[in-house]
């Protein structure tokens, strides 16, 4: 475990959880059930929108720096992102094709969508590991933890609250119990009380099961309360 600040760690855990859950659901989908499969496609669109915005955040605040510090790696990350943006276009076309098909053609289209998404998840897993294993050490060698935290804070500060909640609904269940406590404590210490209350009620309480929620509350109770 890295002792240094790592701005990829928690969001990537959340995105991996979201992608993995959807991949399983797409494999299990009964495309003959219109309501259930419409909900699944809506959830997939929502996930892909979050994934797209995540890449845009990285482009704006992280990759722009990487190109000045390690050009080859920066270009490699740009290339990965360009491939992802192209994949998002193909996936949206596959979603539409599934929505518009009926009967056996809908099942075939749904399976093609499943395979396309599996390919995207695989490529995204490799990409995110590259960022954490190769890019993060470059940043850690050149910036102290306060500077790395400032980069992360600029990204978080640019995200509208409803979108932030959607990310935390993935990040919190995707992270370890101690990480959840640290993440919530950080928001409690740094954000307005009403923002903390919304994140707690609409992300933590919704996304964690009862045992995870109680463990989170117990962990937070052991820390100093917000000022």
Instruction: Give the helix/strand (H/E) hosting 14.
Output: helix 9-28
Q: How far is the CB of 167 from Fe ion (least distance, A)?
A: 14
State the Cα–Cα distance between residues 1 and 69, nearest whole angstrom: 24
Q: How far is the CB of 48 from Fe ion (least distance, A)?
A: 15
Q: How far is the CB of 131 from Fe ion (least distance, A)?
A: 5
Closest to Fe ion by CB, 6 vs 58, is: 58
**Which listed range, 9-17, 23-31, 57-65, 87-95, lies at the site for Fe ion (CB under 5 A)?**
57-65
**Which listed range, 55-63, 114-122, 160-168, 199-207, lies at the site for Fe ion (CB under 5 A)?**
55-63
**Which listed range, 31-39, 43-51, 58-66, 219-227, lies at the site for Fe ion (CB under 5 A)?**
58-66
Closest to Fe ion by CB, 52 vs 90, is: 52
Q: What are the angstrom distances between the C-alpha of 169 and each of 47, 204, 208, 218?
A: 11, 7, 8, 19
State the Rg of the chain over Cα: 19
**Which listed range, 24-32, 56-64, 96-104, 141-149, lies at the site for Fe ion (CB under 5 A)?**
56-64
Ranked by CB distance to Fe ion, the top (closest) residue is: 58
Closest to Fe ion by CB, 58 vs 200, is: 58
Residue 213 in contact with residue 205, Cβ under 8 Å? yes
State the Cα–Cα distance between residues 178 and 186, nearest whole angstrom: 12
What number of other Cβ atoms are within 10 A of residue 48's Cβ? 21
Give the position of tokens 């076309």: 93
List 47, 51, 58, 136, residue binding Fe ion (CB under 5 A): 58
Q: How many residues bind Fe ion (CB under 5 A)?
A: 1
**Which listed range, 24-32, 50-58, 150-158, 207-215, lies at the site for Fe ion (CB under 5 A)?**
50-58
**What is the DSSP code string of 182-224?**
HHHHHHHHHS-HHHHHHHIIIIIHHHS-HHHHHHHHHHHHTSP
Closest to Fe ion by CB, 140 vs 202, is: 140
State the Cα–Cα distance between residues 204 and 191, nearest whole angstrom: 16
Q: How far is the CB of 105 from Fe ion (least distance, A)?
A: 35
What number of other Cβ atoms are within 10 A of residue 193's Cβ? 9
Residues that bind Fe ion (CB under 5 A): 58
């Amino acid at each position: 475990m890295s002792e240094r600040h790592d701005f990829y760690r928690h969001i990537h855990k959340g995105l991996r959880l979201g992608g993995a859950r959807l991949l399983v659901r797409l494999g299990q989908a009964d495309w003959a059930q219109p309501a259930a499969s419409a909900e699944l496609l809506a959830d997939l669109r929502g996930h892909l929108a979050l994934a797209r915005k995540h890449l845009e955040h990285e482009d704006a605040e992280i990759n722009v720096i990487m190109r000045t510090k390690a050009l080859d790696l920066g270009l490699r990350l740009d290339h990965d992102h360009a491939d992802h943006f192209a994949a998002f276009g193909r996936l949206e076309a596959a979603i539409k094709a599934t929505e518009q098909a009926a009967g056996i053609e809908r099942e075939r289209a749904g399976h093609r969508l499943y395979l396309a998404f599996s390919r995207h998840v695989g490529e995204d897993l490799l990409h995110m590991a590259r960022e954490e294993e190769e890019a993060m050490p470059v940043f850690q060698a050149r910036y102290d933890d306060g500077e790395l935290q400032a980069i992360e804070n600029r990204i978080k500060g640019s995200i509208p609250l409803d979108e932030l909640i959607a990310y935390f609904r993935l990040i919190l269940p995707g992270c370890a119990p101690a990480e959840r406590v640290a993440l919530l404590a950080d928001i409690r210490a740094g954000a307005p009380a009403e923002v903390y209350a919304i994140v707690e009620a609409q992300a933590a309480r919704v996304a964690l099961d009862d045992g995870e929620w109680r463990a989170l509350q117990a962990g937070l109770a052991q820390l100093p309360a917000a000022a």
